[in-house]
Structure 1
């Protein structure tokens, strides 16, 4: 099996990291602070789109400073126990030997702890990961690097991630820089490649150096020369048309057949394509009659998509695709010119940002449903809003429900409407911890308190047959 060129040509030190000199300097200054003692911020967050060199920069940093590495990525389970057991254990004043044994700081060197794709910590398998990550950042005695693509979605879950970390942004790599790296790799591999082929590979990568190197490997393996036709063949096979250029063909130009071809090459479902068109059609069609006819075609496409799911007949996708491409393009009376910055569909953005909240709602609804003998759907609709209001305003009820339902920190955070590492959530969890602590047994020789006649006469009442939350 052939070797992966992205690993073979991964930077060995920070001087080989290309495209983001400012980010590299900031990362190096943070590492120097660790080498000199205790830095102002003990964790760094590398922010940027895929393929901009974030992971390579972190590994190159460790190699340059001769730090050992503990890495957790998206393929690992990253719940509270895993982070505390692996990352946090190694961060609290200890490091590791080459055989994986823990050593004291005096015996070993600094250990760089890397949490790759930290913004993808979600779902049942990663429960409690964000609070554990915040605890790691606060208490670590070893350098920590978080690597994220969507910094906003992660930072809004915890104030510690925003205020107690060094944030370093990696920009998309310029096309001329990508061409230089590809030319160097081709020369090292003994492959002749034309300037036009390099240009096409760099343009197609959209600033993603990793994908550009993999595309070069795909066209250069087993050959001595790569030309424009070789790159075009890969392009038509592996790379789909960009949504922005497809929207130009649909909304700006007046060639319906080309609009249909362009939209068909975009690797998205018809539902997502329609959301893009509905979001941006009013921005482009400035003529009211064009806007009316365009939205009418989009509405008809939406009705066919509805029939797909009601009847489970996916042949209707072709009708919807023709209406949203050919139909919307043919609906306008003139072409529209000028640069247009297309908007990402607000619906998809809201759904993405609310994904973690919806997961928490489901978890809480399942626990409440087990206690009230209701379905999770009915709990979300009829019980959860009132339960949440009582939970926020009644301290005794909050304590009892947290214990009975065995609520986790992130679930308490959702019910309280506050961040997972806020003082309010910590107070609730501390109260639960105190309530569950075993009480001290009475000292030997202490006389039992005399019971009153009323207490002696009172008989224990039978427990109700049905448990109730209230």
Structure 2
């Protein structure tokens, strides 16, 4: 918060910018933990406190995995784990079966870590995806969901990540099926129009 504190006026944009920078650092540290271990126990909690959606994590890993894993066999196994996680994420979107999240995070952490036979030496600079179109589509798709999570998190006394993964999927289903509940919820939490609209899509 020091960067913001030195500014004459604290703005929503400056807070969001700081939050984005912190998320980038969180993801980089998590990737370092995964890529530099061959222990499932070390890798599994890597994303526990990372404020990023599965969509974003898939893009991060896809972008950086080839920088770290040099042997073809290691790389192939890692991409197999990544592809399986992506497949399960697609099933969540289609079937709303959210228990797949457990398997997805296992694949993105322990699955990637154990894909290599031994740790690689040296340090790589992990970077966000340079696939601009993919990233733009991802950001557009998730902007309203993230905004809604940011609105609800302090009011429900939980994290934005928890809201996204454990609350919004069920909230969206209930809101679609129960107009009375939807109106009461929107009014009670004073949701902006674009966030209220997201509940119906």
Select the structure of larger CA radius of gyration.
1
Contact 2:129 2:135 in 1 (8 A): no
Contact 2:55 2:138 in 1 (8 A): no
Query: Which residue, 67, 84, 90 being the options, matches 1:306?
Result: 90
User: By how many angstroms is 1:246 displaced?
Assistant: 1.0
Asked if 1:283 corresponds to 2:29, the answer is no
User: By how many angstroms is 1:285 displaced?
Assistant: 0.3
Structure 2: gaps spanning 5 or more residues: 141-201
Where is the strand percentage greater, Structure 1 or Structure 2? 1
Aligned alpha-carbon RMSD (Å): 3.7
Where is the helix percentage greater, Structure 1 or Structure 2? 2
Query: Which residue, 16, 26, 36 being the options, matches 1:242?
Result: 26
Report the Cα distance in structure 1 between the residues aligned to 2:138 and 2:55, rounded to whole angstroms: 19
Aligned length: 138
Give per-residue Cα distances to partners, 1:29-82, cap 9 Å, x unaligned: xxxxxxxxxxxxxxxxxxxxx5373x32xx6xxxxxxxxxxx9x55xxxxxxxx
Structure 1: gaps spanning 5 or more residues: 1-5, 7-17, 19-49, 60-70, 75-116, 118-146, 151-171, 173-206, 209-238, 357-470
- Corresponding residue SS for 2:4: coil
Equivalence for 1:112 = none
Equivalence for 1:265 = 49
Contact 2:85 2:108 in 1 (8 A): yes
User: By how many angstroms is 1:351 displaced?
Assistant: 3.6
Report the Cα distance in structure 2 between the residues aligned to 1:355 and 1:282, rounded to whole angstroms: 24
Higher relative contact order (CA 8 A, sep 6+): 2
Q: Summarize the alignment of residues 34-73 of structure 1 with structure 2, pairs less than 5 Å apart.
A: 51=4, 53=6, 55-56=7-8
* Divergent runs of 4+, >2 A: 50-53, 147-150, 346-356
**Could you state the TM-score of these two structures normalised by the residue count of structure 2?**
0.57
**Could you state the TM-score of these two structures normalised by the residue count of structure 1?**
0.26
Contact 2:84 2:107 in 1 (8 A): yes
Give per-residue Cα distances to partners, 1:153-198, cap 9 Å, x unaligned: xxxxxxxxxxxxxxxxxxx9xxxxxxxxxxxxxxxxxxxxxxxxxx
Report the Cα distance in structure 2 between the residues aligned to 1:309 and 1:317, rounded to whole angstroms: 11
Contact 1:280 1:343 in 2 (8 A): yes
Give per-residue Cα distances to partners, 1:205-257, cap 9 Å, x unaligned: xx99xxxxxxxxxxxxxxxxxxxxxxxxxxxxxx9x82112111211221122
